[in-house]
Amino acid sequence: MSALDCLELTYHVAWPLNVVVTDSSLRKYNSIFSFALKLRRVVWSLNDVAHRLKRDGAHWCACVNVCGCVDLSGQPPVAAENCQFSEL
């Protein structure tokens, strides 16, 4: 369960608008809102990863070529035993 699952839009619809905007339609809108918010988070995360890979790409390639592991910490490894794995 993510923090985005806890967010919910609520709105009290007064008469006569409540004839058109029902509780059922508000629940559907809320699920669409939640889905769109999750998609926005995914897009942000992917853009962040792409930015980091562009910024640290040269070091990342050097580390993979030297020891076969991935290290995005910014410190070039001296030997294979000095490589540290990092999560994106």
pLDDT of residue 46: 92
Mean pLDDT of the chain: 74
d(CA 72, CA 13): 51
Alpha-carbon gap, residue 82 to 40, rounded angstroms = 37
Residue 87 confidence (pLDDT) = 43
Domain boundaries, the chain: 3-82
Report the C-alpha gap between 11 and 15 in whole angstroms.
13
User: Which pLDDT score is estimated for 10?
Assistant: 82
Q: What per-residue confidence (pLDDT) applies to 88?
A: 40
**Closest CA relative to residue 9, chosen from 30, 25, 23:** 30
Look at residue 44 in the predicted model and tell me its pLDDT: 93
The rounded average pLDDT for each run of 10 residues, N- to C-terminus, in the chain (88 residues) is: 74 88 90 91 92 74 52 51 47
In this prediction, residue 5 carries a pLDDT of 74
